[in-house]
Each structure stands twice: as structure tokens, then as C-alpha cells.
């Protein structure tokens, strides 16, 4: 167990709908990252937050948005869902900070199925 929690574990919805995925980082971690993993694909970085502020953006669609709350949990909002959005969505957390390197620990993921 990495200490990162994600809910829900599974989500089935229809095209055009909107869903919210939730992530709670490890205790003490200030950075949260979101990744998308489609079937037989690698891990695509979506977005990073550090202590409530957006730090970096990757291949995140305009239909997707995220935020990090004062208690440091984060939510990823996916709207106008398409079949191609079906994937595993992982959250990771790290200590964060301005300098140095830190390890990212992944949550168990949310499997999103768009029908």
C-alpha cells in the first residue's frame, strides 16, 4: 500500500457525461500528479499540483480539469466524455518542493469505462 488513495475504484458512464475522480495523497506529501493509462499504452502525464497551485501541465485535454484543495486532496474532472476517454486514471503524490528530486508514489487507480 503506497498511502495514496483514489476513489472510486471503478466508474462506468455514458458518452457526453461528466465525472469526478478523487485522490488523497500520502500524509505529508504536497504534490499531486494525474496520469492516464489507456489499454496497452504507457503512462501519460496530465497535470501536477503543488500545495494547491498548478505546477505543470502535460497532455491534458481542454475537457479535463483538476484542482487541489486546502486539505491537499485533488480532484480530476472529466467532461463531455468520449469512448476514447476509457482508461485507467492514476494519481501519484510526492513530498514536492522547490529543489531536489523526490519519489512519486502511485495510488491504485480509477478504471473509467465510457459506454
Partner 1 sequence: GENVEQHPSTLSVQEGDSAVIKCTYSDSASNYFPWYKQELGKRPQLIIDIRSNVGEKKDQRIAVTLNKTAKHFSLHITETQPEDSAVYFCASLLSGSARQLTFGSGTQLTVLP
Under the rule (CB under 8 A), what is the footprint of partner 1?
2, 31, 33, 42-43, 45, 48, 50, 55-56, 58, 88, 90, 94, 96, 98, 101-109, 111
Q: Is 80 left (phi over 0), alpha (psi -120 to 50) or beta?
A: left
- Nearer residue to partner 1 within complex by CB, 31 or 68: 31
- Checking phi first, is residue 91 left (phi over 0); if not, alpha (psi -120 to 50) or beta? beta
Q: Toward partner 1, which CB reaches closer, 70 or 100? A: 100
Between residues 3 and 84, which has the closer beta carbon with respect to partner 1? 3
CB of 109 to partner 1, least distance (A): 6
Distance CA 27, CA 37 (A): 25
Amino acid at each position: 500500500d503506497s498511502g495514496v488513495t483514489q476513489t472510486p475504484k471503478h466508474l462506468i458512464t455514458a458518452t457526453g457525461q461528466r465525472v469526478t475522480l478523487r485522490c488523497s495523497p500520502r500524509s505529508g506529501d504536497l504534490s499531486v500528479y494525474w496520469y492516464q493509462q489507456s489499454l496497452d499504452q504507457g503512462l501519460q502525464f496530465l497535470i501536477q499540483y503543488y500545495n494547491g497551485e498548478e505546477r505543470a501541465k502535460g497532455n491534458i485535454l481542454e475537457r479535463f480539469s483538476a484542482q487541489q484543495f486546502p486539505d491537499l486532496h485533488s480532484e480530476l474532472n472529466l467532461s463531455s466524455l468520449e469512448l476514447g476517454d476509457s482508461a485507467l486514471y492514476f494519481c501519484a503524490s510526492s513530498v514536492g518542493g522547490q529543489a531536489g528530486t523526490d519519489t512519486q508514489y502511485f495510488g491504485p487507480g480509477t478504471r473509467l469505462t465510457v459506454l
